[in-house]
Amino acid sequence: MRVLVTGGAGFIGSHVVESLSQAGHDVRVLDLSPWPGSDPPAPVSLRGDVRDPDAVDRALVGVDAVCHQAAKVGLGLDLGDAPDYVSHNDLGTAVLLAAMGRAGVGRLVLASSMVVYGEGLGTCAEHGEVVPGPRPVRALAAGRFEPPCPVCGQDVTPGRITEEAAPDPRNVYAATKLAQEHLAAAWARSTGGVATALRYHNVYGPRMPLDTPYAGVAAIFRSALRAGRAPRVFEDGGQRRDFVHVRDVATANVAALGREGEGLRAYNVATGTPHTVGDMAAALAAAHAGPAPTVTGEYRLGDVRHITASADRLATELGWRPRIRFAAGMAEFAGNVERAGV
């Protein structure tokens, strides 16, 4: 199969390209950035913006499927950033889908995100399974970080979210990722195409960029340790996440290309095993033999407290399972020397 990977020179996209190539696919890349220079030779690469119809039309010639990784990432907390996020993520996706319709390309794998869920599921002793609302500023400022039951205000036990949960985007970036899914669903309905949305959880690993708006908290912690500083952990470090290695994310894209059935279907890409942000900071500090993490009590509006997932649907329907365990992945990540940008 000939596959176009948008954003294929980036952190996740470059690993997707490699996994597709290893699986025997003929890969083409569309990206504004060059292929990572220290890595194996690039596949057929086209420099271009996914928002440019002419560039996308050229890239789609002879293509059977698209893995759409190109996006502007980050929280997008400031509404002043909204036009830029919408332009890159939603306009870019709309231009791509329109071009796929013209070219008759009927298979799409979309890089979506856990952020479409908002806060994860919780279980209240009195009211059962609940979805906590946004945490009020006054609670965060007072150091009350756990989201309460929205009905009675009591503490809840965090659980793993499934793809059937109602979306609840809490920031600009999250809203644009959900809009991408809706656009893909509309495209699939109108063309009879197959659209698969992969909701990535906290991705880390080689080629994660350093100290940019695109860097995850793992990269920020690692940079601090390399400078001899303690990682600064927000809140109390108890935020639960599912850290999934980028090579596992890449193989999920390969599996998603083989999905049968029309329309859009979403899948969590996660390990199913949660760890706290504090756990991750401690693992990186130990791998560096560096200073222990500092828990600051600081917070950011728009952050969610807990978001962990079940990846059972992806395992059952597409046969994918993560292979890289947390301890081994973090030890490898601690030793990587990364490029300074995307």
Which of the residues are catalytic?
Answer: 173
3-state secondary structure of 28: strand
Distance from CA of residue 284 to its chain's centroid?
A: 21
H or E element, residue 47: strand 44-47
Cα→Cα distances 251→18, 38, 134, 203, 245, Å? 10, 22, 33, 13, 10
Amino acid at 83: P
Cα→Cα distances 10→15, 17, 40, 41, 120, Å? 8, 10, 14, 14, 28
Query: Which token pair is 117?
Result: 């869920």
- Cα(22)–Cα(123) distance, integer angstroms: 42
- Cα(26)–Cα(48) distance, integer angstroms: 19
Residue 211: phi, psi to the nearest 5?
45, 45
